[in-house]
Amino acid sequence: MTSSSSNGPLGYVATGVGRMMTLIVNLYTIKSDDHSWTLIDTGIPMQGRQQ
């Protein structure tokens, strides 16, 4: 993995975990023991329900 910019390539977070920041969302990838990947879309910043 390469270092991440504000809108660019997948960056390193920890072993098996990557992060990509885009203009709209932040995406995370997690590598499983069987070498498959899970993509997590954390949504649009500041759009969650306020309580």
Residue-wise pLDDT tens digits, 34-48: 999 999 988 776 776
Answer for the pair 12, 18: CB distance below 8 angstroms, yes or no. yes
The mean pLDDT value of the chain amounts to: 80
Is residue 20 predicted with pLDDT exceeding 50? yes
List the structure tokens of 1: 């993995």
Q: What pLDDT, on a 0 to 100 scale, did the predictor assign at position 25? A: 81
Q: Please report the pLDDT score of residue 13 as a whole number.
A: 92
Q: What is residue 5's predicted lDDT score, i.e. its pLDDT? A: 42
The type of residue at 26 is N
pLDDT of res. 29: 94
Cα distance between residue 30 and residue 15, in whole Å: 9
Q: Which parts of 1-51 fold into alpha helices (H)?
A: none
Contact (CB, 8 A) for 50 and 41:
no
